[in-house]
Structure 1
Amino acid sequence: MTRHETFPTKSIADKDFVLATDLDGTFLGGTEAERRQFYDWIEGTRARVGLIFVTGRDPGYVRELTRKRRVPKPDFVVGDVGTTIAEVDEDHFLTPIPELEAEIEKAWNNAGMRVQAALQGVGGLRLQSTGFRHRVSYDMDPDRFEARALDIVAGLGLDALVSDNRFFDVLPKDVSKGPSLLRLLTHLGVDSRKVLVAGDTLNDLSMLAMGLPAVAVGNSEPALLERVAELPHVHAARQAGVAGIAEAILHHKLLA
């Protein structure tokens, strides 16, 4: 091989292991030393390890995170609580995959303004300033929250998701992290047996419950731990954040 030749880049389907992970509290969780060690391991094994972020965060946040905060760049992102499915280029830009988002866009049907109008005046909800394409999200005050918001959203033919007892997301019907991740893995031809799904709050439940090897990291929301307690494929890690992910990789024997 000459100095100008390079080995072909493996597609994510050909890699030995794929980590599909939530960000806040999970891939961004743990001590600074634990994060640095785990991120260095990811970067050192990229030929064998694929990385997918499955997050409630928006594309702009993910790009800022990986460009300026020394967090490994993912191969793909399932963002906005499952309403964005995108690939990531060398410049850290996220490009939505139209064939995977078509059903999401149809299910949403430009509902943003209708949702905001219907929930205006409902106690305990404060609209988040970030503009999302296929969702509406609120910060939630659990002491003031009015449960009628759930009925209002259902009446609009949409889904409501409460997570960490402080976030209220309105999503297209039957769209969340789990179904969107599964749609992406199928599209990419990834063998689900070599995927580890990692999360820490109730908005991760739909992906942890899919039947793939999974971990609820040690600092998980108690409500999530309660819901996954009887699922044998979900490892309840003792350690928090990235240390819990590493613990689960060993527990599930996912990478030699």
Structure 2
Amino acid sequence: MSGAPIPSTSISARRFVLATDLDGTFLGGSDEDRKTLYRWIEDNRETIGLIFVTGRDPKFIAALCDGGVPWPEYVVGDVGTTIARVNGLEVEPIETLEQEIAEAWDDSGDRVRTELAGHPGLTVQETEFRYRVSFDMNPDEVTQASIDAVDEMGLDHLISDNKYFDVLPKGISKGPSLKRLIAHLGISPSSVLAAGDTLNDLSMLECGLPAVAVGGAETALVERVSPLDHVYIAKGIGAAGILEAVRELDLHDTP
């Protein structure tokens, strides 16, 4: 358990920064493709920065990296409601960047769970996040009434992979939080590649940064981003799609 890497250069000085979703993207593809991507990152830490942009929480990320996945230097977690730095073995929220998120959420967890209790097609997830509530969703049963209830509370809903229903603070998602972090760190937007595969990555791929929808991505996501000139549609699945985009967009030397 060596913890996060400590390159001699700040992330803002790197030639390239990968801002990537986890499930289906950074963790997607064959074992060999993942090994190739991870080894390339570890061998080039002085010129490559790594940010995880995920629906996963900090505890999951720490356990994942202790298991052999490259440590990121920063995390946009919980579908954009966590913005954190990685310090050794810890994922530490950056309070100054999360203040707006906390204010927009206004401690709404209990209110959301109460309001949506008993709504058809929604089963609340046991994990309690700080600034969101997540449900497993049956798409054949969920109704417009659930969406209307979220709207009436002044919050946002997000459906992804046709099986998850998230309730989020108004205006908060992966894309806005990633852009807030990049600006805070002084990273050039043109050096960043945002990578994703489901609709909860849509705001990240739409936000204007160079982006890739990896092979195997959710059809609804591909349909939404295909008209966008700054988004590359990869053929390679998961990790292979990330390297394909880096190569095709000439963002960094690749294996």
TM range (shorter): over 0.9
Give the 3-state SS of the residue equivalent to 2:42 in structure 1. Answer: helix
Show the counterpart of 2:71.
73
Instruction: Please state how far the C-alpha of 1:8 moved relative to its aligned partner.
Output: 7.2
Show the counterpart of 1:195.
192
Q: Deviations over 1:234-254 (max 9, x none)?
A: 000011101000000011111
Compute the TM-score of the two structures, normalised by the length of structure 1.
Answer: 0.95
Candidates 98, 102, 108, aligned match of 1:105:
102
Written as runs of structure 1 = structure 2, the 5 A alignment for 1:54-203 is: 54-68=53-67, 70-91=68-89, 93-203=90-200
Compute the TM-score of the two structures, normalised by the length of structure 2.
Answer: 0.96
Give the 3-state SS of the residue equivalent to 2:204 in structure 1. Answer: helix
**Is 1:215 matched with 2:212?**
yes
Instruction: Please state how far the C-alpha of 1:22 moved relative to its aligned partner.
Output: 0.2
Q: Distance in 2 between matches of 1:208 and 1:222?
A: 14
Aligned amino acid, residue 239 of structure 2: V
Instruction: Please state how far the C-alpha of 1:169 moved relative to its aligned partner.
Output: 0.2
Instruction: Please state how far the C-alpha of 1:146 moved relative to its aligned partner.
Output: 1.7
Show the counterpart of 2:3.
none
Show the counterpart of 1:225.
222
Instruction: Please state how far the C-alpha of 1:162 moved relative to its aligned partner.
Output: 0.3
Give the 3-state SS of the residue equivalent to 2:172 in structure 1. Answer: coil
Instruction: Please state how far the C-alpha of 1:147 moved relative to its aligned partner.
Output: 2.0
After superposition, the Cα gap between the structure-2 partners of 1:8 and 1:184, relative to the gap in structure 1 and judged at 3 Å, is: closer
Q: Which runs of 5+ in 2 are unaligned?
A: 1-5
Q: Distance in 2 between matches of 1:146 and 1:65?
A: 35
Give the 3-state SS of the residue equivalent to 2:123 in structure 1. Answer: strand
Q: Distance in 1 between matches of 2:209 and 2:248?
A: 14
Q: Distance in 2 between matches of 1:218 and 1:26?
A: 9
Q: Distance in 1 between matches of 2:144 and 2:21?
A: 27
Q: Distance in 1 between matches of 2:123 and 2:193?
A: 34
Runs (4+) of structure 1 moved beyond 3 Å?
none
Q: Distance in 1 between matches of 2:24 and 2:182?
A: 23
Q: CA RMSD in A?
A: 1.0
Give the 3-state SS of the residue equivalent to 2:88 in structure 1. Answer: coil
Q: Distance in 2 between matches of 1:34 and 1:175?
A: 32
Give the 3-state SS of the residue equivalent to 1:165 in structure 2. Answer: coil
Is contact 2:7-2:45 (8 Å) kept?
no
Q: Distance in 2 between matches of 1:141 and 1:33?
A: 34
Aligned amino acid, residue 190 of structure 2: R
Q: Distance in 2 between matches of 1:8 and 1:179?
A: 27
Q: Deviations over 1:119-162 (max 9, x none)?
A: 01100011111110000000001111122110000000000000
How many residue pairs get aligned? The number is 248
Written as runs of structure 1 = structure 2, the 5 A alignment for 1:1-40 is: 9-40=8-39
Show the counterpart of 1:3.
none
Is contact 2:7-2:46 (8 Å) kept?
no
Q: Distance in 2 between matches of 1:244 and 1:119?
A: 38
Q: Distance in 1 between matches of 2:221 and 2:7?
A: 41
Q: Deviations over 1:2-59 (max 9, x none)?
A: xxxxx97111001110000000000000001110111011111111100000000011
Q: Distance in 2 between matches of 1:187 and 1:122?
A: 39
Q: Distance in 1 between matches of 2:7 and 2:29?
A: 34
Give the 3-state SS of the residue equivalent to 1:160 in structure 2. Answer: strand
Q: Which runs of 5+ in 1 are unaligned?
A: 1-6
